[in-house]
Structure formats: C-alpha cells, structure tokens
Amino acid sequence: MRELIVEADGGSRGNPGPAGYGAVVLDPVSGEPLAEAAEYIGVATNNVAEYKGLVAGLKAARELAPDATVRVRMDSKLVVEQMSGRWKIKHPDMKPLAAEAAGVFPASQVTYEWIPRERNKHADRLANEAMDAGKRGRQWQPSTSTAALDAGASATLDAGAARVVGDAAAGAAKARAALTAAGTGPAGTSRAGTGPVDTASAGTGRTGTSPAATGGDPLAPAPDAAAVPAAPATSRAAAATAAPPVGWAATADLGAPATFVLLRHGETALTPEKRFSGSGGTDPDLSPVGRRQAEAAAAVLAARGTVQEIVSSPLARCRQTAATIAARLGLDVRIEDGIRETDFGAWEGLTFAEARERYPDELDAWLASPKAAPPGGESFAAVSRRVAATRDRLTARHAGRTVLLVTHVTPIKTLVRLALGAPPESLFRMELSAASLSAVAYYRDGNASVRLLNDTSHLR
C-alpha cells in the first residue's frame, strides 16, 4: 500500500483574527511535494485554521491515492492529540471539523505525529501566504507560491536526512509516475457521478471564458486546478510538465483534466446558405473554402503542439477536416458516432425560411422546447443525452490528455452549454462559425472549465 505524508498548519493574526491554512502532501522517499493547498478563511481562531488545514491536506492526499496510508505531521498538539483519540473534543467549533477530517480516510489508514514548528515550515509558509493574500483582498495563488523553495533549505525527513531541494515539478513528476506505476495515482480515473445529463438541469461548476481569464494559451492543457473565484479551497498538484498553473485555483488537486479542443468542420456548399445539414440524409463534402479552412486549422493546431488524440464525427465533412489535421499532426483519427450532428429529419437541406413555410407549427414547437423534434428527426434533449454520455466516455478514456474533437454546431454548443450549466435556450444564443475552435477542460470531480469559444483568428 502506498504511503503519503501530510503536513498541515494554520494561523490567525489576532486569535481570533484574519486566518489561513496551508497543507502539503509529500512523497516519503524523496520528500518532494506532490500537492499543496492553502486558503484565506477570514476571521477565525488558530485552532479552526489548523483543523481546516488538516482537512485540506487529507483531501489532497485522497485525490492522489485513496488507498494510501497517511502520516499526518502537525505542530498543533491539540489537533494531533484530539485526532489520535487521546484528548476529548469539547469546543463546538472543533467537533464538525474533526468529524470531517476523520471521514476523509478510514481511521486505520491515518496516523498522527506531533512535530516542532521548525519542522513544519512548508505548511507554515503556505498558511502565511494565504493570510498575506487575504490581507490584499485576494485568495492564495499556487502560481505565485514560494513555500516549497522557502521550506526546502531547512526542512528534514523523519530520518533527519536533508530534504531534496531543486526543481519541485520534476521531483513531483517522478513521484506521480511512481504512484501511477503502483496503480494508486490519479491517472485514468474517470469523472465520478456524471451519467447522461438532462437538458433542463445539466452542468455545474467552475468556468472561465477567455484566454485572458485563464492567463495563457486556451488550447494548451488546462492546469491541475480549475478557474473560479471564491471557491472553498485552493490547491496545486505539482504537474508532470514544468508549466506553472494558471487561473484561480479553486479546489484540492484534481489531477490534469481531459481537455477537449472542439473544432467545427469546414464549410460545405450548404453552410453559406444556412441550410439545415444534420445526420438525417444530407452528408455533403467540404467545399474548396472548407478545405482551405481545414488546412488553416491544421496549421494553428500544429503550431500549438498540444493535441494528442483526434476524434471525429462519422459524417464526411468532419472526417475530411479531421484527415487534413491528422496528416499535419501525424496522428490517427478515431470515429465517434456520439458526436454526430442532430438529425433534422424533414428539414434536412432546407433553409430556416423554407422550414418555417412548410412546417410552421412544428418549427414553433421546436424553438419552444428542447424535447420537440423536427418531423422524423431528433430533439435537442435527445442530442444532449447522447453527447453527455459520449463526453463521459471520452473524459474517462482521455484523463490528463488533450483531445481534438472534430464535430458539428449542436454537439459543440451542447458541450459548452452543459459545462456552463446554461439553460437549453442558450443553444440559440451562441455563434459558432465554420472551422471555429472552442475548448473545454473536464475534471475528475465532474466540473468543467470553458476555455475558448468560437475562435476564428486562424482563418483571417
């Protein structure tokens, strides 16, 4: 069974006063940090901050290896003795926090050890960074933390040997690889509790909507923690690459997400005429303009160099677009029926005006309800269930990887809508141009971060 070390600390400048906590998960062999967590929690006591640091540290360890044995080391005699069962918990503020900490792992997997403050410098530094950030009206940002470097020079392991100091990301990458090899790491873990989603209630979570919001390349693999302000906790797992996390880190380390780069196929002859072109009979090829658009998309994706897999709708316009990109990137294309376009039934090949003239009542019903389908076609509610189920399969299969999905207007809009938790009518309020790029990152807890929508800069 894998072993992890959790060091946690908390502080209050006033007791009670402005308070924060910090926690770090360490590899017991190398001493390298595998995950960090810190948060400014407002006005609280030292003891509350200490307990919150413990909870955050245990949760970060559970994300890395839920079956691990955990050694908790803290300089709070109170927390160590209470969690070890030697002291009673009398204060009403402590009881729910202690119960929460006790519920993270089975009691048989966790031991507690008191250490002097000078041996808890990493967690102490994280707690102070969190309180400093709170003083500025902000939350702690993992990308600006120097706790690992500050603590490295003086912190020691149990045996008294000096902790390895150097590139924390590289050391953590080795530790993460060891976790994966042992079958206990986060790689390959699927999103829990995210079955097919009803269009009326789908989607939750952390969202960012532009490159500015995420602080970098929106098509690059998303950071280990997603972007949202005012979340209950903040953490960082040291990534396997040297790239620093970006955005507002919001929760305990969830590992690298599955990132879907969403490419609408290039133009067909039907596209400029705005004709219904779904999967119900019309299957046009790319036009000359569409082929040039596919080449432009291939060029920008090759320049970014982040796509690791290509998945395409079975329809010809997507397969042709995907083939152009695959040839440029040197990748294969896998066909996925779940991301095909809506079947528009009797409206296939018609313009909106023609559908209005021939099927006025059916069109009004279709615009009014996601459960209404074109005559002989497919409703948006059915598409949403199909796309959500496909999303779940793909995110489980491609955890931690960046995948290009070459697909259509409705599947892309549906993925974005579900990620944002937007209502069904939002499908009619998004513009999605031919050969445009969008991107959504999916995390193991079921949340999503929209990183890009309808980017056509590569076509200009």
Q: Is 161 contained in some domain? A: no
Domain C-terminal end among 129, 146, 163: 146
The Cβ-side half-sphere exposure at 411, using a 13 Å CA radius, reads 29
CATH number at residue 90: 3.30.420.10
Domain end, chosen from 93, 111, 146, is at 146
CB proximity list for 148: less than 8 A, separation 6 or greater: 24, 33, 36, 122, 168
* pLDDT at residue 93 greater than cutoff 50: yes
**Strands lying side by side in the sheet with 448-455:** 333-335, 309-312, 402-407, 258-264, 437-442, 448-455
What contacts 234, CB < 8 A, 6 or more positions away?
37, 38, 39, 130, 139, 140, 141, 142, 225, 248, 249, 250, 251
100 is catalytic: no
Instruction: Kindly state whether residues 127 and 272 are assigned to the same domain.
Output: no
Please state which of the ranges 113-117, 200-204, 348-352 shows the lowest mean pLDDT.
200-204
Alpha-carbon distance 212 to 347, whole Å? Answer: 40
Angle at 401 between CA 399 and CA 402, to 5 degrees: 130
In angstroms, the first-to-last Cα distance of the chain is 55
What band does 444 get if pLDDT is binned at 50, 70 and 90?
A: confident
Average pLDDT over residues 336-352: 94
Whether residue 421 has pLDDT greater than 80: yes
Task: Using alpha carbons, select from 441, 404, 436 the residue that is nearest to residue 310.
Answer: 404
Mean pLDDT check: name the lowest of 5-9, 107-111, 135-139: 135-139
Is residue 320 domain-shared with residue 449, that is, in the same domain?
yes
Q: Which of 112, 146, 180 is the last residue of a domain?
A: 146
What pLDDT does residue 90 have?
85
> In sequence order, what are the beta bridge partners of 5?
26, 71
In a domain, 268, yes or no: yes
The per-residue pLDDT for 199 is 29
Q: Which domain holds residue 118?
A: 3-146
**Segment among 84-88, 170-174, 227-231, 394-398 with least mean pLDDT:** 227-231
- Same domain for 268 and 130, yes or no, is no
d(CA 114, CA 134): 28
Look at residue 59 and tell me if it is in a domain: yes
Q: How far is CA 51 from CA 23, 135, 141, 216, 290, in A?
A: 11, 21, 21, 35, 58
Q: Is residue 365 part of a domain?
A: yes
272-306 pLDDT per residue, tens: 999 999 887 778 999 999 999 999 999 999 988 88
Residue 143 confidence (pLDDT): 80
**What pLDDT score was predicted for residue 220?**
56
Of these residues, 341, 348, 362, 378, which one is catalytic?
A: 341
**Is 60 contained in some domain?**
yes
Residue 231 lies in a domain: no
Work out the percent of the chain whose per-residue pLDDT is above 90.
61
pLDDT in tens, 422-442: 999 999 999 999 999 999 999
Q: Give the model's confidence band at 248: pLDDT under 50 very low, under 70 low, under 90 confident, else very high.
A: very low
- What's the average model confidence in pLDDT over 215-233? 43
Listed residue (393, 384, 441, 386) closest to 418, CA to CA:
384
Instruction: Report the alpha-carbon distance of residue 104 to residue 60 in Å, rounded.
Output: 10
Number of folded domains that form the chain: 2
**Domain of 386: which CATH number?**
3.40.50.1240
Weakest-pLDDT range from 114-123, 269-278, 312-321, 440-449: 440-449
Lowest mean pLDDT of 117-121, 194-198, 254-258, 371-375, name the range.
194-198
| Predicted confidence (pLDDT) at residue 2 exceeds the cutoff of 60 | yes
139 & 267 share domain: no
pLDDT greater than 50 at residue 236: no
Residue 138 lies in a domain: yes
Span of 18-27, 152-161, 171-180 with lowest mean pLDDT: 152-161
Tens-digit pLDDT profile for residues 371-386:
999 999 999 999 999 9
| Token pair in block for residue 295 | 């080449």
What are residue 25's phi and psi, to 5 degrees?
Answer: -100, 130
317 is in an annotated binding site: yes
69 inside domain: yes
Is 50 designated active site?
A: no
Q: Say whether both 290 and 412 belong to one domain.
A: yes
Query: Which is catalytic among the residues 122, 265, 398, 408?
Result: 265
Answer yes or no: do 138 and 267 share one domain: no
- Here the tokens at position 269 are 């002859």
